Amino acid sequence: MRDCKADSRENEMKRRDFLTAAAAAPAAALAAPAIAQGAATEWRMVTAWPKNLPGPGVAAQMLADRITALSGGRLKVTLYAAGEIVPGPGVFDAVAEGTAELYHAVPAYWGSKSKGILLFGSQPFGLRAEEQFGWMAHGGGQALYDEIYGGFGVKPFLCGNSGPQWAGWFRNEITSVDDLRGLKFRTTGLASEMASRLGMAAQAMSGPAMFQALQSGALDAGEFIGPWTDSALGYHQIAKNYYWPGVGEPSSAEECGINAQVFADLPDDLKQTVQYACESLYNVVTTEYNTNHAKALQRLVADEGVVVRKLPDDVMSAMGNAAGEVIAEMRDSDDALIKRITESYLAYRGLISGYMTYADNGQMNARALPYTY
């Protein structure tokens, strides 16, 4: 039989140990980083878009909301539209310098920093939306994406895609390559270089600025995204010829850039939360674009007098040759990182294009045949 006094002493020691531990817990909790406790850390998201602009403005708000929700409120992201803290073209530098914690924009806007960045957004005659994500996730793209952005103090993730863009809005019909020469045309990224090689006067500007330039005559034509976003900006009020396909941007990836030090300081679970918030929106955003593009195109044709026209094959071939020259120069660049990025992109493009001839291309061609369904 156990000694009752011994039991009593043992129970008293356990009680004291429990009380000591309980008393120490609040002090330990106070000493732990607030972000690990569930207290909200405020993040400012600056964007390249007007607030709630159909397409990218909507997608930016979705990302801010998703990071906040998936973090359980530990990261509270507040969105600031272009011009509220910094102008749209300044969001990359604002995040790199720590003026804001993260941004929502597209890689096509940062070509002045390095031409290699442009391949992560869109490539003339390049990857479609799901292929772009495939390169990042399965073809080595993300490591190169991290490397080139890391040189500027930014941690990047793709977080959406506009899907196939359009060739653009033209005042006059395009019947030959000669019709492009001297045309004042709004576009961005590598598509600008392709256009310039065909004699076009390519100009980069925001979506709202493109409307004003078309209206004033400073532009003859231009492309922005696709029917959903373009109709909201009113381009159809000025130019009625809407050309497809947008070979300059077969897709256009949207990105979230985070200050690299801010991201590095996150606990591991919140790093994964931010990554998942971005990646989980990619398909949601892409399919929202495609669905709303389809609805908007019907309205533009039925109600606004827009004429949908296909680029002539010889024009597209000329564009393809010009795009090939641009990519070849990047592949042969003296900048080792640009060269590696281009080689990686071309390797994945070659791999996936060979397969899609039988897969998606085959299905789309079959669906277009005449039959009763």
> Is 12 annotated in some ligand binding site?
no
For 215, the domain range is 168-250+304-367
- Statement to judge: residues 194 and 273 lie in one domain: no
> Is 298 annotated in some ligand binding site?
no
pLDDT over 70 percentage in the chain: 90
Q: Quick check: is 188 in a domain?
A: yes
Mean pLDDT of 188-206: 97
Ranges of beta strands (E only) in 162-288 are: 168-170, 184-186, 201-203, 221-222, 241-244, 253-259
- pTM of the predicted model as reported, rounded to 2 decimal places: 0.88
> Is 165 annotated in some ligand binding site?
yes
> Is 279 annotated in some ligand binding site?
no
- Statement to judge: residues 47 and 190 lie in one domain: no
The pLDDT value given to residue 39: 74
Q: Quick check: is 229 in a domain?
A: yes
- Statement to judge: residues 80 and 133 lie in one domain: yes
Tokens of 98: 């720590």
CATH number for the domain spanning 206: value is 3.40.190.10
Pairwise CA distance, residues 104 & 127, whole Å: 21
Pick from 290, 317, 343: which residue ends a domain? 290
Q: Quick check: is 21 in a domain?
A: no
Pick from 262, 290, 318: which residue ends a domain? 290
Q: Quick check: is 211 in a domain?
A: yes
Neighbours of 147 (CB within 10 A): 13
> Is 343 annotated in some ligand binding site?
no
Mean pLDDT taken over the chain? 92
Pick from 290, 314, 338: which residue ends a domain? 290
Mean pLDDT of 177-187: 97
222-254 pLDDT per residue, tens: 999 999 999 999 999 999 999 999 999 999 999
Pairwise CA distance, residues 168 & 187, whole Å: 9
pLDDT at 11 over 60: no
Total domains, the chain: 2
> How far, rounded to the nearest angstrom, does the alpha carbon of residue 266 sit from its chain's CA centroid?
23
- Statement to judge: residues 276 and 226 lie in one domain: no
Q: List residues bridging with 222 in a β-sheet.
A: 169, 186
Pairwise CA distance, residues 239 & 172, whole Å: 8
- Statement to judge: residues 244 and 259 lie in one domain: no
Q: Quick check: is 13 in a domain?
A: no
Element (H, E) at 273: helix 268-304
- Statement to judge: residues 237 and 277 lie in one domain: no
- Statement to judge: residues 212 and 279 lie in one domain: no
- Statement to judge: residues 212 and 102 lie in one domain: no
CATH number for the domain spanning 268: value is 3.40.190.170
pLDDT over 90 percentage in the chain: 89
Q: Quick check: is 358 in a domain?
A: yes
- Statement to judge: residues 151 and 139 lie in one domain: yes
247-305 pLDDT per residue, tens: 999 999 999 999 999 999 999 999 999 999 999 999 999 999 999 999 999 999 999 99
From residue 60, alpha-carbon distances to 5, 54, 278, 323, 358 in Å are 68, 10, 10, 30, 35
Q: Quick check: is 261 in a domain?
A: yes
- Statement to judge: residues 213 and 150 lie in one domain: no
- Statement to judge: residues 112 and 43 lie in one domain: yes
Pairwise CA distance, residues 194 & 323, whole Å: 5
- Statement to judge: residues 190 and 260 lie in one domain: no
91-135 pLDDT per residue, tens: 999 999 999 999 999 999 999 999 999 999 999 999 999 999 999
